[in-house]
Each structure stands twice: as structure tokens, then as C-alpha cells.
């Protein structure tokens, strides 16, 4: 697992999957909007305020005044508690002349440290909401005055309730939909970052290079135009020239899958010929003839016949449609391919080919799948590993690199293909 992800890589990931995250975000918004519509109920609230007071004789002693203030506070708390009683709710409904079931709840709260009490009712009946709140205030005033006759208190309705605004199902759905979209964006970010952090594949060539102390020779884009592809191969050509000092035999072996090595070697070979170099492209992957279909080359007995001594390189190598580029297919091998590339005949073939061509680019099967690359590595001037962006596991790449180094291969670096 890569422990480091550049900010640009994170942005590229979200840009590539933007439509997926957009669908998820919209789906969350629609889902919450639909749920809000199904569960939507019009609930209205209205508030009336009462004032609890008492006239005290101006000649009353300070002790009596303090005692009365304490008693008044007790009455205020009693008023707050009274609002929760079922009997009070029934009395309010009767007073307002409505069904008891239409009155959902009544709550009371003291306004700060004053002797004011707010009475708030909740109901589904908008037309009677204000009347219910006023009825609750009047009912409480009557009950408080009846319960506490001495010393007498006065309870007045200071603020009458107003009819609440009409509630719209559309407004509720819109609010829920917006909340769903926000949640969808957060969910998309979390999912995207989780995917990146839990990804075990190679995505950042610079990170791999720094971690494994291995040159990063170049990156080949998945959906590049023809001009950009040529520029990418020119950049790769410069890196390979630097690593191989301008000539020699180079093995290309993919890691984890067979994809990438053949097209990379073919593109590099054509770029090399543009500088006047002569190049022999060799398909040493005896499991298939993938390169034969990509090049305009004639029939040949192939590499197998050369290694078996039945033909020469001059006879087996065929010209292609690109000036300076010759191609040698794998041919039909008898026996194990790993034994063929590990033989002295293969080493002699690479030596003779390097004498006749400026560069010999040899494509081998996947390093994980077959041991051919491990066996052939000591015979070549350089070995280039090919990893596929987002497909090749980092740990698998590291293990392949260690095996090739142990086998005695001169690892020049790696190329990352299919970069998104």
C-alpha cells in the first residue's frame, strides 16, 4: 500500500470519477427529498405570554417582601409544570372549542428571571393555532388565580398569539434535498479518499522511485493523442539512452500482468530510429505473438530457430515499415521457454545482435507469471520493468524487482503505462 498520495493524484482521481460521485450526490438528495415528502406533516406552533404579578403593600417589611418573592417564584415554577399535565391539555381544548386530538402538546417556559411565562402549543390545525395558544394562556391564568388565592396574584395575557405561516411540502422537500446533497458530497469525499488510501496498486511513479531507489524512466498516458504519445516516447528514449550509454540490449518485462511491455518496447523502438539508431525488436515471450500484429513485418522462423541453431539472426530478422527497425518474432519453441532464455545460446544471441544493431529491445513475459525474465536478466545490458497504473500492486512490483536484482540483472528503471 502506498503511504503517500500527492494532492494532484487525488484531484485526478476525483476528476476521473466525477460522474460517479455526482450520481451518488444527486441520489442522496433525491432520497432525502422523497423521504421528507412521505413523512411530511404540517405542524404549527403559536405562543402566548402571561404575566404573573402581585400588589404588595408599600409598608410591608423587607422580610415579607423577600418571602413573597420566593412564593411568587414557586408559583411560576408551578405554572411551567402545569403545562405538561393531561388535564390542562384537555381543558385548553375544551376552552378553544376544538377536538383534543388536534392539540399535540403544550410547553411553558419562564422568560429569563422575569415573571413572564411563554406558553407554546403545537397543532396540525393552522386555523386554530393562535386561538389554542390564547386559550392555554387564559386557562392557566384562571387556574393559577384559583389555586393561589392568598396572597392574591394577578395573571394577565400580555402577548397574544399570531396565526403561524402556512407550511409548504415543497419547501420541506427542497430543504431535505439540499441537506441530502451536502451529505452526498461528504459521503463521496469519504468514499474517494478511502479508495485511494486502501489502494495497494502503483499510482505515483515518483513515490515508487523514491521508496525503492529506482529510476522512474517515464509514464505513458492511457488516452493521449498521437503527438503526446510521440513526446512521451521521446522522453522515455532520453531516459533509456542515459541509462544505457547509447547502445546495448534492453529487456522489457511486465509485472503482475502481460499488458504494456510489448507496446512500450515497440513505441520506444520507433522513437529510437528517429535519431538514426538501428533497432532490433525481439519478441521473447513464447506464450503468444502479440507484437506480430502491431508491426508491418514479414514471416520468420523467429528467435526459437536461432537459439536451436537452425537459422541465423540475419536470416530470421525481418524489416518493418519503419526505417531502421527490424523485428524478430518468438517463433515456435520446443521445451521450456525459461530454459531457452537462460541458455548460453540466448546470451550469444544478445551479444551478436548488439554487434549488428545499436539497440536490441527484447520483450519478455510477465515476471510474476513466468521465470523467463529472472533467467534472461544477467545476459542483457539493462532491464526495464513495466508497471500498469492502478493495476500493478506495489508489493508485487517490489518483490519482482528484488528477484531480478538477485538474479544479477542490471535494472535501469521502470515505466508506468496506462496512466489515467
Same domain? For 76 and 30 the reply is: no
Better-predicted residue by pLDDT, 295 or 312 = 312
Burial class (CB in 10 A: 0-12, 13-18, 19+), 408: exposed
Is the pLDDT assigned to residue 1 strictly greater than 50? no
Q: Is 71 part of any domain?
A: yes
Same domain? For 242 and 98 the reply is: no
Local confidence band at 406 (pLDDT 50, 70, 90 cut-offs): very high
The pLDDT tens digits of the residues spanning 319-343 come to 888 899 999 888 887 777 888 888 8
pLDDT value of position 58: 59
The pLDDT tens digits of the residues spanning 211-249 come to 889 999 999 988 878 888 999 999 999 999 988 887 889
1-15, 153-167, 197-211: least confident range: 1-15
Task: Report the side by side order of strands in the sheet with 325-328.
Answer: 216-221, 411-419, 382-388, 248-254, 359-363, 279-283, 325-328, 318-319
Q: Is 284 part of any domain?
A: yes
Q: Is 70 part of any domain?
A: yes
State how far the alpha carbon of 195 is from the alpha carbons of 4, 5, 13, 172, 188, in Å: 13, 12, 10, 34, 11
Is the pLDDT assigned to residue 57 strictly greater than 80? no
Is the pLDDT assigned to residue 261 strictly greater than 60? yes
Same domain? For 50 and 31 the reply is: no
Same domain? For 366 and 218 the reply is: yes
As for how many domains the chain has, the answer is: 3
Phi/psi zone of residue 390: left (φ > 0), alpha (ψ -120 to 50 degrees), beta? left
> Which uninterrupted H or E stretch holds 318?
strand 318-319
Same domain? For 175 and 127 the reply is: no
* C-alpha radius of gyration, the chain, whole number: 42
Better-predicted residue by pLDDT, 387 or 41 = 387
Same domain? For 48 and 111 the reply is: yes
Is the pLDDT assigned to residue 66 strictly greater than 70? no
State how far the alpha carbon of 67 is from the alpha carbons of 56, 59, 73, 144, in Å: 11, 15, 10, 19
Phi/psi zone of residue 50: left (φ > 0), alpha (ψ -120 to 50 degrees), beta? beta
Q: Is 2 part of any domain?
A: no
pLDDT value of position 382: 92
Better-predicted residue by pLDDT, 68 or 93 = 93
pLDDT value of position 204: 83
The pLDDT tens digits of the residues spanning 268-311 come to 999 999 999 999 999 888 776 667 666 665 566 788 888 888 88
Among candidate residues 411, 372, 375, 406, the one with its CA nearest the CA of residue 250: 411
Cell numbers describing residue 223: 488516452
Q: Is 1 part of any domain?
A: no
Q: How many CA atoms lie within 13 A of 25 on its CB side?
A: 15
Q: Is 287 part of any domain?
A: yes
Same domain? For 94 and 218 the reply is: no
pLDDT value of position 3: 45
Q: How many CA atoms lie within 13 A of 286 on its CB side?
A: 21
Show Cβ contacts of residue 11 under 8 Å, excluding neighbours closer than 6 positions: none
- Dist CA 59 CA 216 (whole Å): 98
- Cβ atoms of 301 and 316 closer than 8 Å: yes
Same domain? For 49 and 30 the reply is: no
Show Cβ contacts of residue 347 under 8 Å, excluding neighbours closer than 6 positions: 378, 379
The pLDDT tens digits of the residues spanning 105-128 come to 999 998 888 888 899 989 888 888
- Look up the domain containing 85 and give its range: 44-159
The enclosing domain of 145 has a CATH number of 3.30.70.1130
State how far the alpha carbon of 399 is from the alpha carbons of 114, 206, 359, 405, 418, in Å: 78, 18, 28, 10, 21
Same domain? For 380 and 243 the reply is: yes
Q: Answer whether 0.85 is exceeded by the pTM.
A: no
Show Cβ contacts of residue 76 under 8 Å, excluding neighbours closer than 6 positions: 52, 110, 115, 117
Is the pLDDT assigned to residue 2 strictly greater than 60? no
Q: Is 241 part of any domain?
A: yes
pLDDT value of position 275: 92
What backbone torsions phi and psi does residue 246 show, to the nearest 5 degrees?
Answer: 90, -5
Q: What number is the average pLDDT over the span 366-374?
A: 86
The enclosing domain of 282 has a CATH number of 3.40.50.300
Local confidence band at 166 (pLDDT 50, 70, 90 cut-offs): confident
Same domain? For 153 and 269 the reply is: no
Q: What number is the average pLDDT over the span 197-213?
A: 85
Q: Would strands 325-328 and 279-283 be described as parallel, antiparallel, or unpaired?
A: parallel
pLDDT value of position 195: 82
- Dist CA 84 CA 103 (whole Å): 12
C-alpha torsion 22→24→28→34, nearest 10:
90
Same domain? For 237 and 102 the reply is: no
pLDDT value of position 277: 92
Cell numbers describing residue 200: 495497494
What helix, strand, coil percent values describe the chain, rounded to 5? 50, 20, 30
- Dist CA 410 CA 252 (whole Å): 12
Same domain? For 35 and 146 the reply is: no
Q: Would strands 116-123 and 44-53 be described as parallel, antiparallel, or unpaired?
A: antiparallel
pLDDT value of position 252: 94
Q: Which residue has the cell 434535498?
A: 177
Q: Is 341 part of any domain?
A: yes
Amino acid at each position: 500500500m502506498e503511504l503517500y498520495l500527492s494532492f494532484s493524484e487525488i484531484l485526478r482521481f476525483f476528476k476521473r470519477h466525477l460522474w460517479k460521485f455526482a450520481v451518488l450526490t444527486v441520489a442522496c438528495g433525491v432520497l432525502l427529498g422523497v423521504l421528507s415528502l412521505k413523512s411530511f406533516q404540517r405542524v404549527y406552533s403559536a405562543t402566548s405570554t402571561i404575566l404573573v404579578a402581585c400588589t404588595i403593600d408599600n409598608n410591608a417589611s423587607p422580610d415579607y417582601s423577600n418571602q413573597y418573592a420566593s412564593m411568587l417564584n414557586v408559583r411560576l415554577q408551578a405554572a411551567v409544570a402545569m403545562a405538561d399535565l393531561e388535564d390542562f391539555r384537555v381543558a385548553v381544548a375544551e376552552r378553544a372549542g376544538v377536538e383534543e386530538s388536534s392539540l399535540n402538546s403544550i410547553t411553558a417556559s419562564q422568560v429569563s428571571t422575569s415573571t413572564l411565562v411563554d406558553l407554546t402549543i403545537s397543532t396540525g390545525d393552522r386555523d386554530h393555532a393562535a386561538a389554542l395558544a390564547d386559550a392555554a394562556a387564559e386557562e392557566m391564568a384562571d387556574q393559577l388565580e384559583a389555586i393561589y388565592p392568598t396572597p392574591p396574584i394577578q395573571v394577565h395575557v400580555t402577548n397574544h398569539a399570531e396565526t403561524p405561516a402556512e407550511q409548504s411540502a415543497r419547501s420541506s422537500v427542497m430543504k431535505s434535498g439540499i441537506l441530502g446533497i451536502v451529505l452526498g458530497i461528504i459521503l463521496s469525499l469519504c468514499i474517494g479518499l478511502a479508495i485511494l488510501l486502501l489502494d495497494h496498486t502503483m499510482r505515483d511513479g515518483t513515490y515508487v522511485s523514491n521508496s525503492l531507489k529506482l529510476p522512474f524512466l517515464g509514464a505513458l498516458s492511457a488516452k493521449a493523442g498521437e503527438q503526446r504519445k510521440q513526446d512521451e516516447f521521446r522522453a522515455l528514449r532520453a531516459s533509456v539512452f542515459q541509462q544505457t550509454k547509447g547502445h546495448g540490449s534492453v529487456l522489457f518485462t511486465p509485472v503482475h500482468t502481460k499488458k504494456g511491455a510489448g507496446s512500450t518496447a515497440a513505441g520506444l523502438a520507433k522513437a529510437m530510429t528517429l535519431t538514426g539508431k538501428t533497432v532490433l525488436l525481439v519478441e521473447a515471450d513464447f506464450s503468444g505473438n502479440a507484437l506480430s500484429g502491431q508491426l508491418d513485418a514479414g514471416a520468420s522462423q523467429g528467435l526459437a530457430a536461432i537459439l536451436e541453431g537452425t537459422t541465423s539472426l540475419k536470416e530470421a530478422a525481418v524489416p518493418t515499415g519503419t526505417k531502421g527497425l527490424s523485428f524478430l518474432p518468438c517463433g515456435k519453441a520446443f521445451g521450456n521457454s525459461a530454459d531457452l532464455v537462460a541458455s548460453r545460446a540466448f546470451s550469444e544471441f544478445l551479444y551478436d545482435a548488439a554487434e549488428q544493431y545499436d539497440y536490441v529491445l527484447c520483450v519478455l513475459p510477465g515476471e510474476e507469471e513466468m521465470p523467463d525474465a529472472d533467467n534472461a536478466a544477467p545476459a542483457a545490458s539493462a532491464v526495464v520493468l513495466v508497471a500498469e497504473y492502478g493495476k500493478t500492486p506495489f508489493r508485487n512490483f517490489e518483490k519482482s524487482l528484488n528477484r531480478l536484482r538477485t538474479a544479477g540483472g542490471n535494472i535501469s528503471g521502470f515505466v508506468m503505462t496506462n496512466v489515467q
